[in-house]
Structure 1
């Protein structure tokens, strides 16, 4: 037995035929010929017909005779629909109720007639049974003018009303009826339960609808109500009040030739299942999945993405080489070692869905059938036929797999693949990567900006902000270094002030000493020498300044050469790497090479030449020596106009006149030179002091700038966070609107502040915690940072972070300095420490933007392997909308308990099979029965064969097939006796 299992077929559950007891409008001239021809020509074709008549089965029996004569070749199932009128008044007439009788029992006609005979109608001081003979009697008693039996039958049918309580009693007392009859009731307002609108009728209506298995209605609102999809009436409510959900069906209710099989607005009835009465029973169990009213049945996967048939050639170990496949959910079951995984592997091989690693797996330990049987497969091959017409053949030993033009036409979740992705060893990188792939696929191609995978798209969205963060962080370090320098200068004001005062006193003392060396009569020479010395000092300072400028120009020349040769080309290369998607040509990129705006080479050369010229002018040329008593510079000459050389020569001449004593002259010369040196040193100190005095203002300005830069760092971090959030937005929005298991999955993007590592760096490397103070001891700084900064770092805006850091600094900066390992007098050490401290304090390396994937509030990295398996299936079954290829899964229930399978996976498989073909190997009853699998393939293997594979046999069908149900019960439940015994011991009622 090999079939595709449960497929959609058009059923006609309510149609009358020529000769129907009431309202027969089919005409008298060969009505059956025209009637049958109309049925045979219908599109879409009717394949199952419930022949309807009032109280009797005459037209059904006539229908069978025509079928036996060769009519209606497309109709595979015919069964009686016996329409009864209850003694319950509706809006117009009485409520109609229908007995749909299974034709599987060869004695079903005699049995249903025996059942109907137990229904009695009291009238004329007598009781009339619901049989043809009794209805004729009732008709004649009601109208004594009627002589013809057929006329009496029709009139009796109009009089006979079935008592609802009696009907219910008779039905429940008959084991045959409960096994072979389904009750349908009209749901409309005319002759249906909707016509019972009075408050007093509410209970009667509920009891009738509770008794019924099927509602005859084409109304969408009624269908939603009976499926528990309407507000105020859930499926649980229906179970409590009406014994469960119920399928809505609709027939043409034809009473004339024109309406045969033509319901209003093409509201056809579709039943999913084989063409057997049990399919109708299955529709009562799963009304949402197996019954539908509409012009066409519900669509499933696209035909081109459905494997319609599997054929295995050159495999003498396979006794059933041809297997058709259902487009919905296919469940492969069987005992261990029966060939379940073999079929999944074979299908995956034909789909090119086995990876190179899978083909090369160690046959001794691999769970793959094809890997373990590699040496025994020979030339076996598989041919897959696809719904779109394609046909592909592949060898089962993998010799022609994974060619350069091949691509997987299905996704195969083999046992090995699932184990790797859901392993408990370490972080599930593979699972995270699969989640990222689904996230990437959830974006339309237009939104991907040319990215080929998740990582590239993520980098495209965040690279700009990461680069901005790096730039601002670098600027932050530079500013912090400058602040440290300014703080150091501030600390030098007092020392420099003292040094300046000391230097001034020293110079004054030297001048006093110099005055004591002056010989009487040479005072004028000394005064002249002092005047010249002051001018010379000024000139030497200028010459020194020009020398410094010249050296700076030479350093700039070196920098220009370095920039052109290495730095600018490297910066261009880095820019091209950061913006590789710009599409700019090499020539266009050349425009971005950094060049100097002006002719800096000529400028720097001219600056050096100018500085040299200024030095030469300031130095001047020494005059020739003459009479020592004759001044080299006239007293009226403006000394500020003279260069250094003549002034120095005149000073030397004057020094020779100060004393006849050579020793005194030498002392004077030395002391004068010392005074000149000290004056130079004093100028340097005064310059440094002025710089130090201005450090406070500069430091405050830099601190304000650093605060702004710190805010810009967080602007970049927050922008990166928002960019990542936009990446997940399509799935996040979908999850927010979902329910059930899917709602347990969540994505979040947040900032993480590793305060512990940030504080530990300071405590271990920067602060001396041995010193008495607020941060004495381990963890005290970390605690303060958690209280003052963590919330702002992780959730605050840029201004809020700035404010938090400012507050932290105002509160703790002095305390932190008390734990400095050096005092400020240790200038070199303190300077290095203060820079390190500033870099640490305003650093952001401890801040990361991270996305988290959680299930039921737990990070995916911390889930058990079983729960990771649920997340994996959530991805493929519910979220991976971009992938409509067949999904092949080998034992999805691994590592899960039965309740988790029922609670978490069943609904996923039900939803998935409506969108794509799903083929699964399973040992779990919930995944077969409660998902209402569309096709069940039962695998069985024979005894082992020496040097070969054991014979493997497959049978298949739907749950509506008794043989398949029995196999499911035997394999998955241990058999009927085992199932009932477990229920008995667990005290579970099985009476429904």
Structure 2
């Protein structure tokens, strides 16, 4: 059974690649006493390295390898890389850090022998390698020839030592000699590194010196920092931070990715917060490898053949941490839910907290999870407002002022919706009262007919009076009394109506003042406000009821007074009635006249009520149409604040339009509410083309809303049965039909005009920007499905390389550009047991490591497939184009033009 390798991949460590335990006095000597001194010196160097937390050292004595074997064989904690320092003809000092396989390749057992072999064969130095005065001999070939030989034969890595010193690259030789070396590198023929001792400002000086030799944005030559220690106490006095496996292949990565793999400085600032980094994950299921899989804090890529458990691993991580995120993402774009279920899964965070699958007591952790094809489906959704708008909004509200603007907008709209609902309710009630009152007036009689009848009766009474025995003064007195009686009767009728209304008002709900909302205050403050409000409300209600009672008392007193006056008036009329001829006829006429006048008074009072109702109805209709404009105005006010945002940037322009939701209006109002059969009839008979409605301006919309409300009132619009009540139809009509339409532009392209790949890229950036503060992990499942190859390499690859510095990213992919091109710190290989793909024990197994993990493929089919080769070889086998991606990564320097300003 082979041991499963689960490495965290490339991690940072301190490297000091120029230490020299062999004193200059001992060079050229190999007697027992000298060798003992070298051993003792080497022990001291290793001890100092360990004390200073140096994890890798390069032993690079001049023309000598006597300390290397002892250092490698007699130490467990420090990685020792074999090397040598050389003098060139130009006077430059070169370090050669050997390929750890070099000794075996040339068939030698000791590094001391391998170094001598190299000096003789490749450097062309005659034995002995030291002059008679114990100074070391120079190489007997050109520097360019030697570097080419070393690189092409994979002997090692060349470093121009202390390149800013008097014996360094930039001080020795002439411009032409330096230019020849640099040109050779730029043309892709060789690789090498520079090295400084301790003056970090020299880095910028070096970069400025060679800037003219590179085209724009070309990768930099790596610049290492080493102690050049000639005594043990100097080991680790300066060093390089290198992110790689602690071996030759790891060091080699610095040549290809100098910006990402190498850091020079006293303190490395690459640690992410412990609470935002997944440290380990583990399956708890008999079908899966039970070991903890350690995760790198930067970029983790998961690869494997079809159905090997790669997406299952990613999804299990996501579902364990935030199952709602997984469900919501799938639901958003109608993605199928995965059928494969596992028994258990555990995620351990670097802060020590543990998330377990289906555990309601999990710590509150977040992720950004992007399922396979999610972005593509999202950009294809053809709706007036989609999840994309929600994503943009969620990015914007990270700004406190903008968040407040959105909350204020919501609060205003909630208040408007409440007002709309109340006004619709009032309108329906008032209109019902209007209809009922109209019927009541018709039941009383025809006003015009009653007025005509009154005229007729009055003429008859006048004739009788003229024929009576009354003189003119008596008739005048009689008429005055009749007028008084009529006036009192009218007042009596009005008072009775008022008393009826006051008694009704008194018996209705006394909560005249609505309780205000205290949603944004603490419970303690809310309680205090409610207590005080109830006190004020009670005082108001008591005063209000007292006022009504007083008014009723006053009106009742007036009724009593009117009754007394009417009684007196009737007594005053009796003498005149007795003198009138045909007094019985006159009495009947007067009774008829009084009856008709009462009817007319009743009609006039009711008509005034009807007119008042009509005014109230029209006022409410005006209010409702104003509210529709207010929805628009609220958005407009919020827009002015939101447009001050500084969160959406990075080559993206941001604008906001206020959009009328035409499709929603048509689908939810026109098609839902209108009787479809009668819709065309309404459209033909009306200037308002409701079937293809659009808003030209807000004033026009406000006027159209008013027209529609009136048409609902007057039954000009035939609705389907479920909307036959006025309120049900108006509740749909008077919804807020306006939304923000967020406009994104990048490199001159509007979002809706971009390619699918560019849209996906913009969305991914926005999703990641959602979490700028906490920077929780990003989980991407096969993002290449959302990108074309060109966009993937030019945009996504670069984006991931930058973002992995800020947050942990875990990707499942089939694309080598997302593994090799992004310089993934850790690659996890997934495998499902099969006839040609055996595992150790379990049905699903994993192995992991760095891109630089390389080993020769083993041909023994009995060995589990994950253990047959290194990570690099797995990448090349599994990913189509993997080998090409590695070669492309190693050929980044090759260009066609070289600048001459050296």
TM-score normalized by the length of structure 1: 0.63
Displacement after TM superposition at 1:507 (Å) = 8.4
Q: How does 1:192-203 map to 2 (within 5 A)?
A: none
Structure 1 residues 718 and 686: alpha-carbon distance in aligned structure 2, compared to 1, 3 A threshold: closer
Aligned-partner Cα distance in 1 for 2:778–2:886: 31
Cross-structure match for 1:214:
193
Q: How does 1:724-739 map to 2 (within 5 A)?
A: 733-736=646-649, 738-739=650-651
Structure 2: where are the runs of 5+ without partners? 29-33, 107-113, 331-335, 432-445, 719-725, 855-869, 889-893, 897-902
Q: How does 1:46-85 map to 2 (within 5 A)?
A: 46-52=54-60, 56-58=62-64, 61-67=65-71, 70=74, 72-84=75-87
Cross-structure match for 2:853:
961
Greater relative CO, 1 or 2 (CA 8 Å, sep 6+): 2
Cross-structure match for 2:660:
752
Aligned-partner Cα distance in 2 for 1:422–1:39: 57
**Does the Cα contact within 8 Å between 2:9 and 2:244 map onto a contact in 1?**
yes
Equivalent residue in structure 2 for 1:651, among 562, 573, 587: 573
Asked if 1:533 is matched to 2:479, the reply is yes
Aligned-partner Cα distance in 2 for 1:383–1:971: 27
Could you say what secondary structure the match of 2:270 adopts? coil
Structure 1 residues 241 and 757: alpha-carbon distance in aligned structure 2, compared to 1, 3 A threshold: closer
**Does the Cα contact within 8 Å between 1:934 and 1:958 map onto a contact in 2?**
yes
Displacement after TM superposition at 1:291 (Å) = 0.8
Equivalent residue in structure 2 for 1:848, among 704, 718, 738: 738
Asked if 1:181 is matched to 2:189, the reply is no
**Does the Cα contact within 8 Å between 2:311 and 2:781 map onto a contact in 1?**
yes
CA-to-partner distance for each residue in 1:711-753, whole Å, 9 max, x for gaps?
7875675446656897x899x53322x35xxx49x79574536
**Does the Cα contact within 8 Å between 2:59 and 2:68 map onto a contact in 1?**
no
Cross-structure match for 2:13:
9
Could you say what secondary structure the match of 1:149 adopts? coil
Larger Rg: 1
Cross-structure match for 2:880:
973
**Does the Cα contact within 8 Å between 2:353 and 2:363 map onto a contact in 1?**
no
Cross-structure match for 2:143:
167
Cross-structure match for 1:584:
527
Displacement after TM superposition at 1:891 (Å) = 3.6
Aligned-partner Cα distance in 2 for 1:872–1:32: 60
**Does the Cα contact within 8 Å between 1:305 and 1:886 map onto a contact in 2?**
yes
Cross-structure match for 1:301:
272
Aligned-partner Cα distance in 2 for 1:15–1:941: 47
Could you say what secondary structure the match of 2:646 adopts? helix
Aligned-partner Cα distance in 2 for 1:713–1:821: 17
CA-to-partner distance for each residue in 1:938-978, whole Å, 9 max, x for gaps?
234443699x9865554332111222211110111277599
Cross-structure match for 2:900:
none
**Does the Cα contact within 8 Å between 2:309 and 2:830 map onto a contact in 1?**
yes
Q: How does 1:575-654 map to 2 (within 5 A)?
A: 575=517, 583-584=526-527, 587=531, 590-591=534-535, 593=537, 596=540, 599-620=543-564, 643-654=565-576
**Does the Cα contact within 8 Å between 1:79 and 1:103 map onto a contact in 2?**
yes
Displacement after TM superposition at 1:929 (Å) = 1.0
CA-to-partner distance for each residue in 1:481-518, whole Å, 9 max, x for gaps?
9999xxxxxxxxxxxxxx99999999899777666555
CA-to-partner distance for each residue in 1:787-807, whole Å, 9 max, x for gaps?
xx1xxx4xxxxxxx6xx899x
Displacement after TM superposition at 1:76 (Å) = 1.5
Q: How does 1:483-882 map to 2 (within 5 A)?
A: 517=464, 522-524=469-471, 526-564=472-510, 571-572=514-515, 575=517, 583-584=526-527, 587=531, 590-591=534-535, 593=537, 596=540, 599-620=543-564, 643-659=565-581, 662=582, 665=583, 718-719=633-634, 733-736=646-649, 738-739=650-651, 743=652, 750=658, 752=660, 754=662, 757=665, 778=689, 786=696, 789=697, 793=698, 845=735, 847-850=737-740, 852=742, 874=765, 877=768, 879-881=770-772
**Does the Cα contact within 8 Å between 1:247 and 1:283 map onto a contact in 2?**
yes
Equivalent residue in structure 1 for 2:805, among 914, 918, 924: 914
Structure 1 residues 877 and 357: alpha-carbon distance in aligned structure 2, compared to 1, 3 A threshold: closer
Equivalent residue in structure 2 for 1:248, among 196, 203, 223: 223
Asked if 1:464 is matched to 2:354, the reply is no
Asked if 1:934 is matched to 2:825, the reply is yes
**Does the Cα contact within 8 Å between 2:88 and 2:143 map onto a contact in 1?**
no
CA-to-partner distance for each residue in 1:889-916, whole Å, 9 max, x for gaps?
5444445444444345334433443344
Displacement after TM superposition at 1:262 (Å) = 0.7
Cross-structure match for 2:723:
none
Cross-structure match for 2:362:
406
Q: How does 1:128-147 map to 2 (within 5 A)?
A: 136=131
Cross-structure match for 2:891:
none
In terms of mean alpha carbon deviation, does 579-588 or 760-769 score higher? 760-769
Structure 1 residues 512 and 939: alpha-carbon distance in aligned structure 2, compared to 1, 3 A threshold: closer
Cross-structure match for 1:984:
none
Structure 1 residues 674 and 197: alpha-carbon distance in aligned structure 2, compared to 1, 3 A threshold: farther
Could you say what secondary structure the match of 1:402 adopts? coil
Equivalent residue in structure 2 for 1:19, among 7, 10, 23: 23
Aligned-partner Cα distance in 2 for 1:604–1:327: 76
**Does the Cα contact within 8 Å between 1:410 and 1:885 map onto a contact in 2?**
yes
Structure 1 residues 406 and 543: alpha-carbon distance in aligned structure 2, compared to 1, 3 A threshold: same
Could you say what secondary structure the match of 2:800 adopts? helix
Structure 1 residues 388 and 706: alpha-carbon distance in aligned structure 2, compared to 1, 3 A threshold: closer
**Does the Cα contact within 8 Å between 1:57 and 1:80 map onto a contact in 2?**
no
Cross-structure match for 1:123:
none
**Does the Cα contact within 8 Å between 1:95 and 1:186 map onto a contact in 2?**
no
In terms of mean alpha carbon deviation, does 682-691 or 250-259 score higher? 682-691
Asked if 1:283 is matched to 2:254, the reply is yes
Could you say what secondary structure the match of 1:849 adopts? strand
Could you say what secondary structure the match of 1:933 adopts? coil
Structure 1 residues 865 and 188: alpha-carbon distance in aligned structure 2, compared to 1, 3 A threshold: same
Could you say what secondary structure the match of 1:973 adopts? coil
Aligned-partner Cα distance in 2 for 1:685–1:197: 118
Aligned-partner Cα distance in 2 for 1:22–1:100: 21
Could you say what secondary structure the match of 2:102 adopts? coil
Could you say what secondary structure the match of 2:824 adopts? coil
**Does the Cα contact within 8 Å between 1:85 and 1:95 map onto a contact in 2?**
yes
Aligned-partner Cα distance in 2 for 1:419–1:805: 36
Structure 1 residues 735 and 97: alpha-carbon distance in aligned structure 2, compared to 1, 3 A threshold: farther
Aligned-partner Cα distance in 1 for 2:467–2:143: 154
Displacement after TM superposition at 1:649 (Å) = 3.7
**Does the Cα contact within 8 Å between 1:514 and 1:668 map onto a contact in 2?**
yes
Cross-structure match for 1:452:
none
Question: What is the CA RMSD across the aligned residues, in angstroms?
Answer: 6.5
Cross-structure match for 1:335:
305
CA-to-partner distance for each residue in 1:297-319, whole Å, 9 max, x for gaps?
3423344654545666895x667
Structure 1 residues 889 and 370: alpha-carbon distance in aligned structure 2, compared to 1, 3 A threshold: farther
Structure 1: where are the runs of 5+ without partners? 88-93, 119-129, 137-147, 375-380, 395-400, 449-456, 485-498, 621-642, 794-800, 982-987
Displacement after TM superposition at 1:648 (Å) = 3.0
Aligned-partner Cα distance in 2 for 1:309–1:520: 120
Could you say what secondary structure the match of 1:522 adopts? coil
Instruction: Give the paired residue count.
Output: 812
Displacement after TM superposition at 1:261 (Å) = 2.4
Displacement after TM superposition at 1:190 (Å) = 6.2
Aligned-partner Cα distance in 1 for 2:447–2:291: 106
TM-score normalized by the length of structure 2: 0.69
Aligned-partner Cα distance in 1 for 2:827–2:258: 19
In terms of mean alpha carbon deviation, does 551-560 or 892-901 score higher? 892-901
Aligned-partner Cα distance in 1 for 2:568–2:680: 58
Could you say what secondary structure the match of 2:567 adopts? helix
**Does the Cα contact within 8 Å between 1:550 and 1:607 map onto a contact in 2?**
no
Displacement after TM superposition at 1:244 (Å) = 3.1
**Does the Cα contact within 8 Å between 1:171 and 1:178 map onto a contact in 2?**
no
Aligned-partner Cα distance in 1 for 2:206–2:771: 31
**Does the Cα contact within 8 Å between 1:887 and 1:916 map onto a contact in 2?**
yes
Structure 1 residues 326 and 529: alpha-carbon distance in aligned structure 2, compared to 1, 3 A threshold: same
Structure 1 residues 99 and 76: alpha-carbon distance in aligned structure 2, compared to 1, 3 A threshold: closer
